[in-house]
Amino acid sequence: MIYKRILLKLSGEALMGDKEFGIDNLIISQYCKDIKPLVEAGVEIAIVIGGGNIYRGLNAAETGIERVQGDYMGMLATVINGMAVQSGLEKEGVYTRLLSAIKMEQICEPFIRRRAVRHLEKGRVVIFGAGTGNPYFTTDTAAALRAVEINANVVLKGTRVDGIYTADPEKDATATKFDTLSFDEVISKNLNVMDMTAFTLCKENKKPIIVFDMNTKGNLLKVVQGEKIGTIVK
């Protein structure tokens, strides 16, 4: 394995599958089946999941909900998703810990960096919920921050698209894919990889980002083994 410790970022929308909202159990089952071989191979895995399948804080203004309140609602949505993925992994016989940036003692541990690292060292998959615990920050930023805090080797951004393109390939048939990019190229080309706060955190702390198609079975293992899947930013 090329990477010993990874931070896997999953979007909440990815968990919807073909549904309009909510959680598709088949998608979660596939993700968990893809994660299990990595755990068995000794790879230390941390996961950050978005909450867009349940609630989007950024769209709160449309409903008349204040932005800060909406962001907290989004953070709670990420904990729901974290619990779903935790349940799926445990069905596969994988030991997990769900850590939350907002205290919810009945369902998850509070986020403590040293404790998170210890869980990883013991071979448990650590799921980070509730984003950074602060409004105005996305789960992309939470993923970058946690990757830096636990000293992950790489941030793996699992999406529905097989890399970074010149334009949205789902909307533009002429879009072409990049195999590798530098952090500066992403900025100069104005490519939407992560939000700028998350991206800057990865750049300043020299954390490479790999964007790949998580929905293709076996891709996660290939990425961690060093195969040229998706797009790497370094």
Q: What's the CA gap between 210 and 63, in Å, rounded?
A: 35
Q: What is the pLDDT of residue 59?
A: 64
**Residue in 104, 124, 107 with CA at minimum distance from that of residue 115:** 124
For the chain, domains (ranges, CATH) are 5-233 (3.40.1160.10)
pLDDT at 57 (0 to 100)? 59
The helix or strand, by DSSP H or E, that contains position 229, with its residue range, turns out to be none
pLDDT at 60 over 80: no
- The structure's pTM equals 0.94
Question: Which pLDDT score is estimated for 55?
Answer: 83
Q: At residue 3, does pLDDT exceed 80?
A: yes
- Integer-rounded Cα radius of gyration of the chain: 17
**Chain centroid to CA 224:** 15
Question: Encoding tokens for residue 96?
Answer: 């997990």
Among 136, 192, 194, 150, which Cα is nearest to 9's?
194
DSSP 8-class letter at 180: E
> How high is the pLDDT of residue 193?
84
The pLDDT mean for the chain works out to 93
